[in-house]
Every structure is written in C-alpha cells, then in structure tokens.
Amino acid sequence: MNAPLVELRLKQIRLEAQGIVSYEFVSATDVPLPPFDAGAHIDLHLAHDRVRSYSLANAPSDTGRYLIAVQREAAGRGGSAWMHTKPRVGDVLHASLPANDFALVEDAALSIFIVGGIGITPVLAMLHRLGAVGRPRRLYYASRSAGETAFAEELLAMAGDANACCAANGLDAACEVEFCFGTSRVERLDIEAIVRAAPAESHLYCCGPARMIDAFIEACTSRPPHTVHFERFAAGSEAATDGGFDVLLQRCGERFTVAPGKTILDALLDHGIDVPYACTAGVCGTCRTTVLEGQPDHRDDFLSTEEKKANDSIMVCCSGSRSKTLVLDL
C-alpha cells in the first residue's frame, strides 16, 4: 500500500546563494500541513518519476509552510537540474509526510553544529528550535565563498537577536556563528580541534560532504555515541553493481537474477516491481526492505552497525548480496 502524499503549492522561489535556491511550499488544499520536528525531511515527487529527499529548513513552529533548499549539482542525477529550471510559483507538487532520521536532542547543555555547503538546511531548523526552547548553540559553517553561503544573513540575525536577548535578560541561550570560506583560508575547517574543545556534555552534529562527515566521525571516536549525530547527503560507499546473484520475492514468488552493472533496485524496477525509493544513494532509508534469507552486502549509510550485523533488512537502492540468493519480503 502506497504511503499518503501531501499536496504542496509552490509559493516562492528565492536565490539564497550562488547555485542554491530555496522553495517555499504551502498546502495546496484546505488541509493544514503535517507538523515536523527539527532535522526532518520530505520526499518530493518530481517529473519523470523522480523522487528526491530534501531537508526542511524552516522553524518547526512555522507550521504554515515547508522550506527546502536545493544546490545545483553539475554531476547530479537530474533532480537538482529539474528543480533549478522547471518549477514555477503556483505549481502543485506532491511530497511524503515528513520523516526524521537526524533528530535533535533539545535538552543538551550545548549543541555544536559543523556543516558544509547545503548541509545547513536541516541545521537551520535545529538552530531555530533551540532558540525557541532557550538552549545554547554553536555553528561552524564551511563553504567555498561568502557568495556561496546560503542563509548567511538569517544566521547572523539569529545570533544577534539571541545574544542581545541573553545580555538583556541574563539568559544562557547564546547563539554563536562562525563562517569558514575556502577563498580565505589555506587549511580546511579544523574539525578535530572543534571536537577536542567541545565540553563533555555537549552534543555534536555534522551535515555536509562525505569528506567532512568522515573526518567528523573519526574525530568523535572517543566521545559517547549518543552525543554524536550526522546526516549524509551522499553515500560513503559505491553502490553494489557486481550482480550475479538471484533475488526471490517471497510474497509474489517471482525470482530473477541481478545482472552485472545493475543494483537490486534497478532489477526490481526492470521487472515491474513497485518499491518506494528516493535518494538512490543509501542515505534516506526510503527503500528499506526486509530480508528473509541470505546475507546482504551493505553499502548504505542509513542502517546502524547493529542493524547491518542483524542482516534482516537492506537498502535495495545501493546494497547487494554476499549470498547466491537473497529472499526479500516483497
């Protein structure tokens, strides 16, 4: 059974930075938009059966709209190019209900965010939420240049308002923002130093390019796992496309071989099997499928280490099989 979709009307398109455009959606019907928590995303249904996941950037308390931002990717798979050229104000698009794989811990003594480029989108909503509940937060934002830094004015205004309020009322809910531009530095943002200096009770978040997240994970190895949070926009591993194994669909009884050069998702779609998917990179969790028999070759960045060891689910968009046959609950 297909999950329900939300009808969205595009209200505004805004250039936020060089190569980055934001899209403000409101309800296209009389039904209010479903609420969301900071860090959530929606799967937006585009033309040509494309589905793409986009983080919600506006404050969760801003219930009348969904705000996303899209960076134009020259080497992308067509979704960003379509978003940057085709949608017009007034268009109606469909989206999934908001889902959250990058949840915010609202009662942390201090929240520290390390972001790169378009990774600011879920973090912007988190910063708004922490401001609403009066919690201190600190942002390190790396981008190529000032002109390619989305939401910079909003972030500076947020920090200024928060710090002025703290000074006037003796509150401890400061908001610190530090930008790091590639055009004005020799070395990259020193993630290791930021993590090393973080108070023990703080929670750390990272969202950005794969290299940044890899460095963040490495720097956080000695910290309690429950204080370390990250979200990838691209997979850290190549998809499994060696093929040469069979997939058996338990419910319908169909069996077929995944050919070399194909993913399991490719094979499923080639055989007319309707499965949900969005990112096709193993980061969003939309295509998670139950494994009944066999050993998956996990290539995703969604499942936890424990979930991968259990071998009872697989992201069919990018993972393969270590066994000759993989039995799926489809």
Q: What's 263's domain CATH number?
A: 3.10.20.30
Total domain count for the chain? 3
Range of the domain at 204: 111-232
Asked if the structure places residue 166 within a domain, the reply is yes
Question: Could you give the CA distance from residue 212 to residue 115 in angstroms, rounded to a whole number?
Answer: 8
Using alpha carbons only, how large is the chain's radius of gyration in Å?
21
Specify whether the CB–CB gap between 92 and 28 falls below 8 A.
yes
Question: Could you give the CA distance from residue 126 to residue 228 in angstroms, rounded to a whole number?
Answer: 15
Q: Give me the CATH number covering residue 62.
A: 2.40.30.10
Residues 223 and 253 in one domain: no
Domain stops at, among 232, 265, 298: 232
Residues 190 and 163 in one domain: yes
Residues 127 and 32 in one domain: no
The SS3 of residue 54 is strand
Asked if the structure places residue 211 within a domain, the reply is yes
- Containing 84, the helix (H) or strand (E) segment is helix 79-85
Residues 226 and 135 in one domain: yes
Q: What are the phi and psi torsion angles at 107 (to 5°)?
A: -100, 15
Specify whether the CB–CB gap between 276 and 288 falls below 8 A.
no
Residues 166 and 219 in one domain: yes
Residues 224 and 278 in one domain: no
pLDDT tens across the length of the chain (330 residues) = 457 899 999 999 999 999 999 999 999 998 999 999 999 999 999 988 788 889 999 999 999 999 999 999 876 667 889 999 999 999 999 999 999 989 999 999 999 999 999 999 999 999 999 999 999 999 999 999 999 999 999 999 999 888 887 777 776 778 899 999 887 655 568 999 999 999 999 999 999 988 899 999 999 999 999 999 999 876 667 888 899 999 999 999 999 999 999 999 999 988 988 888 777 778 778 889 999 999 999 998 888 888 999 999 999 999 999 999 999 999
Specify whether the CB–CB gap between 22 and 67 falls below 8 A.
yes
CB atoms within 10 A of CB 115: 24
What per-residue confidence (pLDDT) applies to 255? 95
Asked if the structure places residue 104 within a domain, the reply is no
Domain stops at, among 201, 232, 263: 232
Residues 252 and 289 in one domain: yes
Residues 315 and 262 in one domain: yes
What per-residue confidence (pLDDT) applies to 1? 43
Asked if the structure places residue 237 within a domain, the reply is no
- Containing 219, the helix (H) or strand (E) segment is helix 210-219
Domain stops at, among 205, 232, 259: 232
The pTM is what? 0.80
Residues 119 and 185 in one domain: yes
Residues 158 and 256 in one domain: no
- Strands, E assignment, 97-243: 111-116, 137-143, 175-181, 203-208, 228-232
Kindly write down the DSSP assignment for every residue of 269-318, as one continuous string: HHTT-----SSSSSSS-TTEEEEEES-EE---SSS-HHHHHHTSEEETTT
Asked if the structure places residue 103 within a domain, the reply is no
Asked if the structure places residue 318 within a domain, the reply is yes
Asked if the structure places residue 180 within a domain, the reply is yes
Asked if the structure places residue 29 within a domain, the reply is yes
Residues 85 and 142 in one domain: no
8-state DSSP, 109: S
Strand order in the sheet with 137-143: 175-181, 137-143, 111-116, 203-208, 228-232
Residues 227 and 183 in one domain: yes
